[in-house]
Amino acid sequence: MSITIKSEREIDIMRKAGEILANVHQKLAKEIQVGMSTYEIDQIGEDLIREYGCIPSFKNYQGYPASICISINDEVVHGIPSQKRIVKEGDIISLDAGVIYKGYHSDAARTVGVGKISQSADKLIKVTRQSFFEGMKKAKAGNYLSDVSNAIGGYAEGMGYGVVRSFVGHGIGTSLHQEPEIPNFVVANRGPLLRKGMTLAIEPMINEGTHKVDVCSNGWTAVTSDMKNSAHYENTVLITDGKPEILTLTEEEKENGFLELF
C-alpha cells in the first residue's frame, strides 16, 4: 500500500476525529485517581468515545480486548486494562487511544502522573513530550521522514534516554495503521519525502534507561528490559507546506503554549 494523500474533505473529517480524541484525553486524564483499576479507566474512556458518537479504534483490533491501552511505569505500550491492576500514588500512566469518526481514525497518547511523582518521572514525561515537538520542527512538506525521526531520536538520546526501536509511528486514515512506518530513533536512510496532505501518527516512546523492551506473556504488553520507567507522547499530525497541524492537541495544551513549541 502506498502513502495516502488526503483530500480537503478527508482532512476536515480527520480534524473532527482529532478534536474528539483530544477532548477524550483531556477528560480521561482528570478522572484518574489513586485506587482505581485500569479496567475502570478503560470503561470511562470507552464511554467518552461513544458519547461523541465514535467507535474505539483499538477495541478488538487484531484481538486487542480493550478501548484504551493503559501502560504503567515500566510498561511501554499495549498495557491491557484489568480489574486487578490498581493505580497507586506516584505512578505514571500512559493512555493510548484512538477513535473512528465517519470512517477515519485519529490516534494519540499521553503519559500522566498520579498525585506526587518523582522528579525523574516528571523529567521523563517532559523530555518525551519535547522530543515530539523537536520532530514537529522538521515535519513539513519538502523534508524527508528521516528528518523527523532524527530530530526526535537525537533530542531524546542527547538528554540521556533510551529511544524505543521495537515500536514506531505510522500513517493513519481510513485504517489505523497505514504506510509509512515512522521511527522515533536516528536512522541512516532518508525515507519518503513528506508531502502536503499526509496524515501521520507520530509517537515517541522514551525510556529512562535502555531502549530495549520485552513483550509479556499476554502477547501484548511491552515492558522496559531494565524495569525503568517509560513515557509515551503521540499525536495525529497533518503535513502542510508550513508548520504541521497537530489534530489531537488538547485545548489545555493549546492554552499552555504548546503551539509555540515548534
The model's pLDDT over 32-73, given as tens digits with 9 standing for 90+, comes to: 999 999 999 999 999 999 999 999 999 999 999 999 999 999
Residue with cell 473512528: 100
Q: Please state the pTM of the whole predicted model.
A: 0.97
CA 235/CA 259 separation, integer angstroms? 13
Which domain CATH number covers 32? 3.90.230.10
Helix ranges, 119-220 (H): 119-136, 145-158
Binding residues for a divalent metal cation: 96, 107, 170, 203, 234
Residue 39 lies in a domain: yes
Binding site members: 78, 96, 107, 170, 177, 203, 234
The helix/strand count (H/E) of the chain reads as: 5, 15
The model's confidence at residue 257, banded by pLDDT at 50, 70 and 90, is: very high
How many distinct structural domains can be found in the chain?
1
Residue 216 lies in a domain: yes
Q: Is residue 1 part of a domain?
A: no
Length of the chain: 262
Question: Is the pLDDT reported for residue 1 higher than 80?
Answer: no
3-state secondary structure of 253: helix
Q: Look at residue 54 and tell me if it is in a domain.
A: yes
The pLDDT tens digits for 75-110 are 999 999 999 999 999 999 999 999 999 999 999 999
Which residues sit in the known binding site for substrate?
78, 177
Compute CA 72 distance to the chain's CA centroid, rounded to the nearest angstrom: 14
Q: What is the pLDDT of residue 189?
A: 93
Instruction: Quickly count: other Cβ atoms within 10 Å of residue 120's Cβ.
Output: 11
Residue 132: inside a domain: yes
Question: Which domain, by its residues, includes 210?
Answer: 8-260
Please indicate, yes or no, if residue 95 is contained in any of the structural domains: yes
- Sheet with 213-215: strands ordered across: 75-77, 222-224, 213-215
- Is pLDDT at 19 greater than 80 in this prediction? yes
- Asked whether residue 2 is domain-assigned, the answer is no
Rg over alpha carbons for the chain, rounded to the nearest Å, is: 17
Tens digits of residue pLDDT in 168-179 = 999 999 999 999
Q: Give residue 65's pLDDT.
A: 98
Grid cell 483530500 is found at 7
Q: Is residue 220 part of a domain?
A: yes
